[in-house]
A = this chain, B = another copy of it.
Amino acid sequence: MSPRPFHKKLDLKNGHVDLTHGAGGKATAQLVDELFLAAFDNKWLAQRNDQALLDAPTGRLVFTTDSYVVTPLFFPGGDIGSLSVHGTINDVAMAGARPISLSAGFILEEGLPLADLARIVQSMAKASREAGVPIVTGDTKVVERGKGDGVFINTAGIGVMPLGVVPPSGERAKPGDVVLVSGTLGDHGVTILSKREGLSFETNLTSDSAALHGLVAELVSAVHDIHVLRDPTRGGLATSLNELAHQSGVGFRLDEKAIPIRPEVAAACELLGIDPLYVANEGKLLAICAPGDADRLLGVMRAHPLGREAAIVGTVVEDADRFVQLETKFGGSRVLDWLSAEQLPRIC
């Protein structure tokens, strides 16, 4: 490919996004070349076509998408860029699949500092590189000032199912099955909320944003028939289990004492008046398996850096009402209802 005729380099330090960056002409091409291609740097993007041509995969495909509208754009433990890579990798992985490629679609607001965009793009590039899942195709649109909010990012992801793995799926939870979580709950949502509200706590809260496909690869390799995998993002563990209760036509019984929650998260939740079981996670998964597989699964989780605080937290029960019940620390029991109200807007 011949070099492109840009007379002046993009000013990534002091420049701002303007409408020409979304017009599809020279300014768009320059933004793509000097920012996106430079950061994501792979052979598919280097083709500079409107699509990427990938090798033929060796199994069934998994396909997923998520848009990210988190505010603020930068938070302890990550930013909208790394979140958009981790979140979509995780949705692919929750099918038991190995993620192979990501797309990235940007909707930028006119006036966004190019320095902010560059920081976000570099964070995506780092997350993608560390995960070994390239961003192979993309798109950029710009909307007028006041018609967006800095940056929105959509990522879609493709994965391949490993041979021999029975696909985990939300309708496969069976009475008697065991529920595990891979670590502490509520870290992401509480971090975002406290940052947004300008709250400061004594301890440092950090998002748990992380790519879970490495952990999942070890789990499905150890137990070929995990019934359900899910990442409890928006709405947290309680919402995910309510969804699964309806998908599988079962109930859940959880043991509050067994659910890992950081003391600083618990304290922040109490101050904020929210329940950590309804708060988003971005680096945790829940797994449901036959009772005979539970100890093995727990062992594999705990041996992985992202699953050190994994725990068995409950069981699947027969329940015509599809209730998620919590046995509290004090020996009582309460239903974790399926909320319709907004608890934490724009958390991811």
Contacts and interface: CB of A to CB of B under 8 A. Distances in A.
A25 B47 CA distance: 41
B148 A147 contact: yes
A92 B104 CA distance: 15
Contacts of A74: none
A19 interface: yes
B235 A25 contact: yes
B138 A65 contact: yes
A62 B164 CA distance: 25
A333 interface: no
Interface in A150-169: 152, 154, 156-159, 161, 167, 169
B23 A67 contact: no
Contacts of A158: 61, 63, 158
Contacts of A161: 53
Contacts of A63: 51-52, 54, 101, 103, 136-137, 156, 158
A148 B67 CA distance: 13
Interface string A187-201: 000000000000000
Given A51-B62, A56-B59, A152-B152, A2 B246 contact: yes
B148 A148 contact: yes
A26 interface: yes
A4 B247 CA distance: 9
A91 interface: yes
A289 B205 CA distance: 59
A20 interface: yes
Contact of A24 (B53, B148, B154, B233): B233
B170 A47 contact: yes
Contact of A23 (B69, B142, B234): B234
A64 B48 contact: no
A51 B105 contact: no
Given A25-B339, A246-B1, A147 B144 contact: no
B104 A65 contact: yes
Contact of A57 (B5, B49, B61, B97): B61
B48 A54 contact: no
A130 interface: no
B49 A53 contact: no
A107 B91 CA distance: 18
Contacts of A341: 20, 23, 25
Given A1-B246, A25-B338, A63-B54, A69 B141 contact: yes
12 contacts: A20-B340, A24-B239, A24-B280, A25-B338, A28-B234, A49-B169, A55-B61, A65-B104, A105-B156, A141-B346, A142-B345, A156-B156
Interface of A: 1-2, 4-5, 18-20, 22-29, 47-69, 91-92, 94-95, 97, 101, 103-107, 136-139, 141-144, 146-149, 152, 154, 156-159, 161, 167, 169-171, 230-231, 233-235, 239, 243, 246-249, 280, 322, 338-346
